[in-house]
Amino acid sequence: MRTSGLYLLLLFLLLEACSTYKKISWPSSKSVSGTSFYEQAAAFQWKQRDSLTRMLVLQGSIPDFLRKFVAIRTQYQDSSGKNYRAIYYVSPDYLSIGTNKNWARVHITPFLAQELADSLQCFLPTRKMVDEIYNSAVIKLAPIPLTQNRDSTPTFYQHHLAVEQQRKGRVGLVAGIQKDIVTTGRLYAYPKRDRVAIYGWHQLNGKPIQPLYTGHVYWYVDYSQGVRLVYKLIKVNGKWVHYSTVLNDPILRNLLCDETDCGGGRYPTPPLSSLPPDATR
């Protein structure tokens, strides 16, 4: 009986460990370093940065630690009293380029973020998810506002180094360091469908500096906007469900979204007439 009990305990612990993390299979290549990326991109504007980032991410120049996604648990009770429970898996930090020894967070337009999420079998979070990720984070760092040259590439790297100095090598789910690029139904209200939605940058008291905001045109990218990837399948009451099914269901969407219109969890495709002539699409 003791042997049987020990076996069941070990099995439970194994299953719990498996549900806490999910290894994501992405393309892998010999990565350039984060330092090299920023040296190459130092004089780049948004379209050049997007182009370089797209190429490197899709060829697999992503640090290995970002491939181990972390489980976030959530629940919702409908008006009849029925309970729904879900687990979704998120990257432990924001989109980065490099190796485990030399990497750096990168900053891109929302349309490239959507493209990369699709290619990497992921999606972008909602406001509600950003709050839940922050609450679940084991490493909560204070935001580091910068006031000059906010949209310049060297400032991006400067901010990354400042965050790393604050993190001090601690390992685990990190939050509080960026405004997340999020999805929301508000994006579809603009005729040109050319906006970015941002939210978050939580302070240590748990309150976000940035409310949900869609005032920036999509090609405005600064050091404070980050991309957190979420694995495309959600485990709802023990069954795997695609995120689009969850976010388009009138009941299930409450697990992931606290808005009346969740936008289906995707960025709209803007009319070509709304894009600048040199847009990278």
In tens, the pLDDT along 147-158 reads: 899 999 999 999
Q: Does position 136 have pLDDT exceeding 60, yes or no?
A: yes
Query: Considering the domain boundaries, does residue 180 fall inside one?
Result: yes
Query: Considering the domain boundaries, does residue 265 fall inside one?
Result: yes
When divided into structural domains, the chain yields a total of 1
Name 1's Cβ contacts closer than 8 Å, sequence gap at least 6.
Answer: none
In this prediction, residue 281 has a pLDDT band, given cuts at 50, 70 and 90, of very low
pLDDT at 28: 85
Query: Considering the domain boundaries, does residue 19 fall inside one?
Result: no
Query: Considering the domain boundaries, does residue 198 fall inside one?
Result: yes
Query: Considering the domain boundaries, does residue 151 fall inside one?
Result: yes
pLDDT tens-digit map of 170-229: 999 999 999 999 999 999 999 999 999 999 999 999 999 999 999 999 999 999 999 999
pLDDT tens-digit map of 69-80: 999 999 999 999
CA separation, residue 105 to residues 72, 144, 149, 152 (Å): 22, 14, 17, 14
Query: Considering the domain boundaries, does residue 216 fall inside one?
Result: yes
Query: Considering the domain boundaries, does residue 5 fall inside one?
Result: no
Query: Considering the domain boundaries, does residue 67 fall inside one?
Result: yes
Residue 129, both tokens: 């998810």
Name 267's Cβ contacts closer than 8 Å, sequence gap at least 6.
Answer: 110, 111, 113, 114, 124, 183, 187
Q: Does position 235 have pLDDT exceeding 70, yes or no?
A: yes
- Whether the CA torsion 49, 61, 166, 182 is positive or negative: it is positive
User: Domain of 270?
Assistant: 25-274
Task: Say which residue, 174 or 12, is predicted with more confidence.
Answer: 174
